[in-house]
């Protein structure tokens, strides 16, 4: 084969490689925008249901699409299309209005609900949500400090049940006024009740508009201790939590 032919063949192979890479990136972008997007859990606010170092997949189609569902939320588009309303007890990825980062919290209050905390007990529309003590354990917070906690199983009015954590029943946000959820908004809380910045802080999170929902958390696909970067494969032995991988976030 002549040098000119080899050069022409080399250019063709390079062009094909570039086309394949571009196609793969476009497929990944479409998948992330319209199907599922991965998120990491960097804080203790949802422990022990979602632990620091868990990696989850959130479905975009569950709640439909808004500009917050897109890779770049600066797109000049208001509203939501093809949206199914969040249900009480859903774990959702949200973008609180005052914040520039995504949060992962549980849907507690629906539009029109009245939410209040009384001595650490969640009340919805004047009725205390049933909770059953599970036991005492030790939990590691976002700073790596081990703290004794009490675990409770809480059951919402629609039957959704999950485990919460409390350091005590008289911590910040354990006694609040009544929050009345505005139309088109939702009240979000972390399962780690005394270490979660959520809708109980109206200035930091507050009521979350439906438009600001990014997706519904569905599965854990990876989990590693101490927020170790997953690309540090040499640290996987002894640190990867295999029992949490490929499991539903609602288990």
Active-site residue list: 45, 105
Torsion of Cα atoms, 105 then 106 then 107 then 109, to 10°:
-90
| Rounded Cα–Cα distance for residues 176 and 199 (Å) | 12
Written as six digits, the tokens of 194 are 């005394």
What's the sign of the alpha-carbon dihedral 142, 45, 105, 187? negative
DSSP assignment letter at 73:
T
Any alpha helices (H) in the chain, and if so which ranges?
3-34
Say if residues 148 and 136 touch (Cβ distance below 8 Å): yes
- For residues 164 and 149, the answer to whether their CB atoms sit within 8 Å is no
DSSP secondary structure letters along 172-225 = TTSS---EEPPTTEEEEE-SBGGG--STTSTTTT-SEEGGGEEEEEEEEEEEBG
């Amino acid at each position: 084969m002549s040098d000119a032919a080899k050069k022409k063949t080399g250019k063709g192979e390079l062009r094909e490689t570039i086309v394949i890479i571009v196609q793969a990136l476009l497929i990944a972008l479409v998948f992330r925008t319209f199907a599922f997007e991965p998120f990491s859990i960097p804080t203790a606010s949802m422990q022990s249901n979602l632990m620091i170092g868990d990696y989850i997949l959130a479905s975009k189609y569950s709640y439909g699409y808004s500009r917050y569902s897109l890779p770049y939320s600066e797109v000049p588009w208001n509203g939501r299309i093809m949206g199914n309303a969040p249900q009480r007890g859903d774990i959702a990825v949200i973008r609180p209005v005052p914040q520039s980062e995504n949060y992962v919290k549980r849907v507690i209050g629906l539009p029109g609900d009245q939410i209040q905390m009384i001595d650490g007990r969640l009340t919805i529309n004047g009725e205390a949500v049933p909770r059953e003590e599970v036991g005492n354990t030790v939990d590691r917070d976002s700073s790596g400090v081990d703290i004794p906690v009490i675990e409770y199983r809480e059951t919402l009015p629609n039957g959704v049940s999950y485990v919460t954590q409390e350091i005590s029943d008289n911590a910040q946000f354990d006694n609040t006024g009544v929050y009345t959820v505005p139309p088109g908004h939702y009240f979000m809380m972390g399962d780690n009740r005394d270490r979660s910045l959520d809708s109980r802080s109206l200035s930091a999170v507050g009521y979350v508009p439906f438009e600001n929902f990014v997706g519904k958390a569905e599965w854990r696909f990876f989990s590693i201790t101490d927020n170790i970067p997953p690309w540090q494969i040499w640290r996987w032995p002894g640190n990867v939590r295999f029992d949490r991988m490929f499991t539903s976030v609602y288990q």
